[in-house]
Amino acid sequence: MSKQTSDLSDLFYETLKDIYFAEKQILSALPEMAENAQSDELRTAFETHRDETRGQIERLDQIFELIGKPTQEKTCVAIVGMIDESKEVMEDFADTNALDAGILAAAQAVEHYEISRYGTLKTWAQQLGLTDVVGLLEDTLMEEKKTDELLSKLASADVNAKAA
């Protein structure tokens, strides 16, 4: 962030660029995670979330337009690290019973990051009076929470037990 940025509106924009980068990285990573998943249910969850992520990126494009700022990405080192970690799990646990549990855990770390970011952005948008933006962020936040709940259900019902 440059020294010229100083208020909540600037912070909102910088964070929006961060999550925009993150979503694009996630969209790129999901096919590999789906391909490596051993469980059909986990594979389907990743494929479904890939489609949702496309819609989330479209919503972010709308938000940039609504706030009158250029659509830009800002490197999100947190997501880069989480995706690198998921790749490491896929390499280290390939062809083992623990693979799905590891991929699922990595995916949930990403979901928790996204839930945090979208919750914050929504709160800031409310504070800034960006009513149209709040609704778009709420839609994405609900999708992220739904995905996290599904991953938790898959972990509890089957994936973790197979890893044990």
**Structural domains in the chain plus CATH codes:** 8-163 (1.20.1260.10)
**Residue pLDDT, tens place only, 104-113:** 999 999 999 9
Q: What is the pLDDT of residue 1?
A: 46
The amino acid sitting at 77 is V
Question: In whole angstroms, what is the distance from residue 21 CA to residue 125 CA?
Answer: 19
Residue 77 banded pLDDT, cuts 50, 70, 90: very high
Give the H or E element holding residue 15: helix 8-36
CA of 134: how far to CAs of 49, 63, 109, 122, 148, in Å?
21, 9, 24, 5, 21
Per-position b or e across 49-72, b if 16+ CB within 10 A of its CB: bbebbeebbebbeebbeebeeeee
Mean pLDDT of the chain: 94
**Residue pLDDT, tens place only, 13-24:** 999 999 999 999
Q: What is the pLDDT of residue 3?
A: 53
Q: What is the pLDDT of residue 156?
A: 87
The pTM (predicted TM-score) of the whole model is: 0.92
